[in-house]
C-alpha cells in the first residue's frame, strides 16, 4: 500500500511551540541572508530546474512566503517585495517560453501569482486587465489540472473574486471554467465519475492534487460559493464515490495510486497519494457518504503509521506536506489526535530541514519543496489552523 523504505519511524519528539517559532524566524533570516542581488535565491541541487523563478519551486514563491510570514507577524526581516517582484516577473516570463503547455495560463509556473502580488502592493488597475486577459486564456484550452491548467486559474480567480467582489470579471471567468470542468466529469464503470487529464502529451486518470482529479475537485470546493447549491451537492456526491472507488484499502488503511488503477508504485506524499488526496478533499461535506468519511480517516492512519518521508521536509513531497493532511483532518473532525500528529511531524520536519542544510551547505529556497513551505506549516501548527498556502489563502 506504500513503499516502506521511503519513510522512517517517528521517534518521540514532543511539540515545542518555542522551537517552532525559532525555526520560522531562522528560515526567514537565512533566506534574507542568502539571496543574490535582485532577490534571486540560489537553486537547490535536489530541484530539477536550476534557475526557476516560478511560484512552485522558484524565487517568486519564496517572495510570497516571506511576505506572508511578515504579514502573519511571525518573521522579523527587512524585505523589499516590490523590487523582488520586478526582477522575478521578467525572469519568470522569459522562462515561460521553454515550459510545457505554453498555450495555457499556469498558476504554479506562470506569471499570474507575481502579477497578483504586484496588484496587492500597488492597486494598479492595469495589472487587473493584464490578469484578466491571461487568466481567460484558460476559458478555452484543454488542460484541466492545477499546475498548468484551468484548476489553477480557478484557484487564482477565487482569490481575485474575494479581493474584488464588485469586479464581475473574476466571477464570470470562474463560471466559464467551472462549467466546462463540471461538464467534462465523465462516468466511468470502474472508477465512478472522473476526468481524464490531458497533461505532458498524455491522457490519464491522474488522482493527486497537482495534476489530477483531486486538484480539479479542490478548485470547485474553493469556489463553491459561486456555484448553484444543487449543482455543488450533486457534484460532491459524485466525487465522493470515485474517491472511495479509486482507493486501495484494507481493514485499517487507505492510499491512492498516482493514476487510478495503476498500483505498481504507491507513493505516500502530497503530490501523489493519501496526503494530497486528504488535503485537497477534506472540505467535502461530512455525513453524506460514510464510506468516504471512513476512507479519509484510513488514509490518515496510514500516513501516521508510515512515518515521516525520507525524501525531504517540504510540502509537495516531504514531511510537512504529509503533516498538512493531519491538520486538515483536525479541521474536519475536531479530534485533537490529528493536531498532535501534525505537530509531531512538524518537530521531525524541523530536524530534517536542519540536517539537509548541513549536508548541502545551503538552504532550499522554494515554497512547495523547501524551507519557507515548512515555515508556513509550522505557523499553521502553532495557530491550530489548516490553510494550505496559496490554495486556501494568498
Residues between 226 and 245 with contacts to Zn ion, criterion CB under 5 A: none
Closest CA to 319 of 329, 305, 309: 309
CB of 43 to Zn ion, least distance (A): 16
Q: Which range of residues in 84-92, 220-228, 314-322, 383-391 is near Zn ion by CB under 5 A? A: 314-322
- Compare residues 211 and 341 and give the one whose CB is closer to Zn ion: 211
Cell of 83: 523590487
Q: How far is the CB of 215 from Zn ion (least distance, A)?
A: 12
Q: How many helices (H) and strands (E) does the chain have?
A: 14, 6
In the complex, what is the shortest distance from the CB of residue 54 to Zn ion, in angstroms, rounded to a whole number?
Answer: 14
Among the candidate windows 125-133, 170-178, 309-317, 352-360, which touches Zn ion by CB under 5 A?
309-317
CB 392 within 8 A of CB 338: no
Q: Which stretch binds Zn ion (CB under 5 A): 1-9, 73-81, 311-319, 345-353?
A: 311-319
Is 324:271 a contact under the CB 8 Å cutoff? Answer: no
Here's the x/- map for Zn ion, 161-200, by CB under 5 A: it reads as ----------------------------------------
# residues contacting Zn ion (CB under 5 A)? 3
Report, in Å, the least distance between residue 73 CB and Zn ion.
Answer: 29
Mask of contacts with Zn ion, 245-284, x by CB under 5 A?
--------------------------x-------------
Pairing of strands 186-188, 254-255: unpaired
Q: How far is the CB of 316 from Zn ion (least distance, A)?
A: 3
Q: Which is nearer to Zn ion, 134 or 317 (CB)?
A: 317
The span from the CA of 239 to the CA of 254, in Å, is 17
Q: Please say which residue, 223 or 312, places its beta carbon nearer to Zn ion.
A: 312
Nearest Cα neighbor of 342 from 371, 311, 312, 383 is 383
Q: Minimum distance between the CB of residue 91 and Zn ion, rounded to whole angstroms?
A: 23
Site membership for Zn ion, residue 316 (CB under 5 A)? yes
DSSP 203: E
- The CA angle 335-339-341, to the nearest 5 degrees, is 110
User: Phi then psi for 352, rounded to 5 degrees?
Assistant: -60, -40
Smallest separation (angstroms) from Zn ion to the CB of 346: 19
Of residues 84-113, those binding Zn ion (CB under 5 A): none
Q: Between residues 91 and 317, which has the closer beta carbon with respect to Zn ion?
A: 317
Burial 158-170 (b: 16+ CB within 10 A, else e): bbbbeeeeeeebb
Give me the least distance between CB of 66 and Zn ion, in Å please: 22
Cβ closer to Zn ion: 156 or 316? 316
Q: How far is the CB of 284 from Zn ion (least distance, A)?
A: 22
Nearer to Zn ion, 271 or 277 (CB): 271
CB 236 within 8 A of CB 217: no
CA dihedral 368, 309, 346, 159 (to 10 degrees): 30
- Considering beta carbons, is residue 85 or 315 the nearer one to Zn ion? 315
- Chain position carrying cell 476526468: 195
Cell 500516513 maps to which residue?
A: 303
Q: How far apart are CA 246 and CA 255, in angstroms?
A: 9
Classify residue 207 by its DSSP letter.
Answer: -
| Residue 290 beta carbon to Zn ion: minimum distance, rounded to whole angstroms | 31
Q: Which is nearer to Zn ion, 144 or 317 (CB)?
A: 317
Q: Could you tell me the three cell numbers for 311?
A: 525524501
* CB closer to Zn ion out of 100 and 142: 100
- d(Cα 363, Cα 26) in Å, to the nearest integer? 11
- What's the length of the chain? 394
- Choose the binding region for Zn ion from 129-137, 156-164, 187-195, 313-321 (rule: CB under 5 A): 313-321
Binding-site ranges for Zn ion (CB under 5 A): 271, 316-317
Amino acid at each position: 500500500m506504500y513503499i516502506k523504505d521511503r519513510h522512517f519511524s517517528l521517534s518521540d519528539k514532543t511539540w515545542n511551540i518555542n522551537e517552532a517559532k525559532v525555526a520560522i524566524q531562522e528560515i526567514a533570516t537565512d533566506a534574507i541572508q542568502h539571496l543574490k542581488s535582485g532577490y534571486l535565491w540560489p537553486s537547490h541541487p535536489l530541484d530539477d530546474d536550476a534557475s526557476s523563478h516560478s511560484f512552485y519551486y522558484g524565487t517568486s514563491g519564496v517572495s510570497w512566503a516571506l511576505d506572508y510570514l511578515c504579514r502573519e507577524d511571525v518573521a522579523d526581516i527587512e524585505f523589499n517585495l516590490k523590487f523582488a517582484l520586478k526582477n522575478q516577473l521578467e525572469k519568470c516570463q522569459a522562462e515561460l517560453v521553454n515550459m510545457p503547455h505554453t498555450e495555457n495560463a499556469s498558476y504554479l509556473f506562470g506569471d499570474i501569482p507575481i502579477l497578483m502580488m504586484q496588484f496587492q502592493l500597488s492597486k494598479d488597475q492595469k495589472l487587473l486587465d493584464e490578469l484578466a486577459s491571461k487568466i481567460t486564456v484558460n476559458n478555452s484550452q484543454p488542460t484541466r489540472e492545477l499546475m498548468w491548467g484551468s484548476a489553477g486559474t480557478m484557484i487564482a480567480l477565487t482569490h481575485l473574486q474575494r479581493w474584488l467582489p464588485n469586479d464581475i470579471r473574476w466571477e464570470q471567468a470562474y463560471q466559464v471554467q467551472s462549467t466546462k470542468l463540471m461538464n467534462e466529469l465523465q462516468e466511468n464503470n470502474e472508477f465512478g465519475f472522473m476526468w481524464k487529464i490531458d497533461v505532458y502529451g498524455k491522457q490519464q486518470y491522474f488522482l493527486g492534487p497537482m495534476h489530477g482529479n483531486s486538484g480539479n475537485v479542490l478548485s470547485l470546493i474553493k469556489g463553491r460559493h459561486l456555484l448553484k447549491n444543487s449543482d455543488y451537492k450533486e457534484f460532491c456526491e459524485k466525487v465522493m464515490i470515485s474517491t472511495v472507488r479509486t482507493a486501495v484499502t484494507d481493514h485499517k488503511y487507505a492510499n491512492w495510486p498516482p493514476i487510478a488503477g495503476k498500483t505498481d508504485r504507491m507513493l505516500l506524499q502530497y503530490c501523489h497519494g493519501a496526503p494530497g488526496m486528504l488535503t485537497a478533499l477534506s472540505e467535502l461535506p461530512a455525513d453524506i457518504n460514510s464510506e468516504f468519511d471512513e476512507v479519509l480517516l484510513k488514509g490518515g492512519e496510514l500516513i501516521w503509521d508510515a512515518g515521516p518521508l525520507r525524501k525531504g521536509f517540504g510540502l509537495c513531497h516531504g514531511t510537512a506536506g504529509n503533516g498538512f493532511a493531519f491538520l486538515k483532518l483536525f479541521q474536519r473532525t475536531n479530534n485533537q489526535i490529528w493536531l498532535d500528529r501534525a505537530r509531531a511531524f512538524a518537530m521531525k520536519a524541523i530536524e530534517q530541514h536542519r540536517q539537509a542544510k548541513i549536508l548541502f551547505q545551503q538552504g532550499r529556497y522554494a515554497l512547495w519543496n523547501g524551507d519557507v513551505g515548512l515555515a508556513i506549516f509550522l505557523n499553521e501548527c502553532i495557530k491550530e489552523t489548516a490553510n494550505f498556502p496559496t490554495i486556501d489563502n494568498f
